[in-house]
Amino acid sequence: MTIAIAAVSLPDDVFVCVSDRMISFDDISPASDDAAYKIFGMHPDWMALFAANDISAAWPLLLTVRDKMKGVQFDLEDVQGFFSDAYTQAIQQEFLDKKLRKLGYKSIEEFRKEGRADLDRQFFDLTRELEGSQIDVQFIVCGFDSRKSARLFQVDSPGYAKSCELLRYAVIGSGYHMAMASLRRKQLNLSLPSIVYRLLEAKFSSETARGVGKQTTVVLKSRDGHMVLDEETIEQLRAIWEAVNKVPDPEEAIGLLQAKLTVKSDP
């Protein structure tokens, strides 16, 4: 799958977006570690990161939303609505193509209008199946609304959006648990340099998860523009992280335990 992480700094409200670039193929063929960028600019003020088992399912949703976000500013409710509508459209189109066209229906509307009379009980089975349909894609969406306020939310199938603004960060993908464990191991310092390092630390930690590649993308977005962190700096930070992980246990703690731990034979 993948790892995608986003956070917003204080007090300057700069979004830091981190992801891998791996695409895997369900063990059919070797995974490609440097195959796709998973951070997508939908609008000058808004970006999205995605995680999906099938990358081909993510792009149509992103393109649908991007097409609705041309030329004007948008508020949180607008962008959440665009994603919800895109999920609905994609789910219905997939169900139409896979299930209904072979039964002679050219649209979901035609199926809903005529299916009950045509199909009897099969209509209700298909309706329940349609209502339970999902697309296995998640998004983190971040950007600035019409008042230039920083907004951060996550979208899950079938288009459910939830705010991530209380924590000021979000994580999705198969590396979720490892990344979250890293982020939660100590309190986040929300200054920009610290946020960049801690998100990279979480990404590096998640690389043991299935489907998470080593190649890393880091994009920073402010109200005025964006920057992409260079590969050399990312690898320098990886080396620092690896060195920190090799630091031995505190001598004071080991000495205390050596003095206290005496295991006696049971009587």
Residue 172 and residue 51 in contact, taking contact as beta carbons nearer than 8 Å:
yes
Structure tokens at 162: 């939830």
Residue 100's nearest CA partner among 137, 125, 83 is 125
Check residue 247 and report its DSSP letter: P
Range of weakest confidence among 87-91, 179-183, 261-265: 261-265
Least confident of 24-28, 30-34, 57-61, 136-140: 24-28
pTM (global) more than 0.85: yes
Q: Give the number of other CB atoms < 10 A from CB of residue 217.
A: 21
Please determine, for residue 91, whether its predicted confidence score (pLDDT) is greater than 80.
Answer: yes
Cβ atoms within 10 Å of 265's Cβ, excluding its own? 4
* H/E element, 156: strand 150-156
Q: What residue type is 233 in one-letter code?
A: T
Which CATH number describes the domain made up of 3-260? 3.60.20.10
Question: Omega before 60 cis (within 30°)?
Answer: no
What local confidence, expressed as pLDDT, does residue 51 receive?
A: 94
Mean pLDDT across the chain, nearest whole number? 93
Q: Taking a C-beta distance cutoff of 8 angstroms, is the pair 207, 170 a contact?
A: no
Q: Is there a contact between 57 and 252 (Cβ–Cβ < 8 Å)?
A: no
Rounded alpha-carbon distances, angstroms, from residue 1 to 87, 165, 180 = 19, 25, 16
Average pLDDT, integer, range 236-257: 96
Token pair for 258: 């050596």
The Cα–Cα gap between 63 and 194 comes to: 33
pLDDT level of residue 57 (50, 70, 90 thresholds) = confident
Per-residue model confidence (pLDDT) at position 25: 53
3-class SS of residue 5: strand
pLDDT > 90: what percent of the chain?
Answer: 86
Rounded to whole angstroms, the Cα distance separating 43 from 45 reads 5
> Please, which residues bridge with residue 18 across strands?
5, 218
109, containing H or E segment: helix 108-119
